[in-house]
């Protein structure tokens, strides 16, 4: 049975600017500052549900990998 591949959206915003908007993350090379100066979050494809609330890049990516692992099943 065919299953639609669901995507997730990674967003970021700078920590020091209150009121800054969340932006789509396009890669580390597109950022002006190191990743430590940003907050990240993970949303579903439609941006209706926050999968991982605001956190560091490492924390959000760790959870992203966990979701991907369980979504596709265990690798033997």
d(CA 50, CA 60): 11
The answer to whether residue 40 sits within a structural domain is: yes
Count of domains for the chain: 1
d(CA 38, CA 1): 40
The answer to whether residue 3 sits within a structural domain is: no
Residue 42 pLDDT: 96
Buried b (16+ CB within 10 A) or exposed e, 67-76: eeeeeeeeee
The residue range of the domain holding 19 is 8-72
The answer to whether residue 1 sits within a structural domain is: no
Q: CB of 59 within 8 A of CB of 42?
A: no
Buried b (16+ CB within 10 A) or exposed e, 24-60: ebeeeeebeeeeeebbbbbbeeeeeeeebeeeebeeb
The answer to whether residue 32 sits within a structural domain is: yes
Residue 71 pLDDT: 73
pLDDT in tens, 6-55: 789 999 999 999 889 999 999 999 999 999 999 999 999 999 999 999 99
The answer to whether residue 51 sits within a structural domain is: yes
pTM: 0.81
pLDDT bin (cut points 50, 70, 90) of residue 4 is low
Residue 74 pLDDT: 59
The answer to whether residue 2 sits within a structural domain is: no
């Amino acid at each position: 049975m065919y299953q639609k591949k669901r995507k997730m959206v990674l967003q970021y915003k700078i920590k020091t600017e209150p009121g800054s908007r969340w932006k789509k993350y396009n890669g580390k090379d597109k950022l002006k500052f190191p990743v430590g100066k940003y907050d990240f979050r993970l949303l579903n494809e439609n941006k209706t549900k926050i999968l991982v609330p605001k956190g560091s890049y490492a924390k959000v990516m760790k959870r992203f990998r966990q979701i991907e692992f369980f979504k596709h099943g265990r690798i033997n």
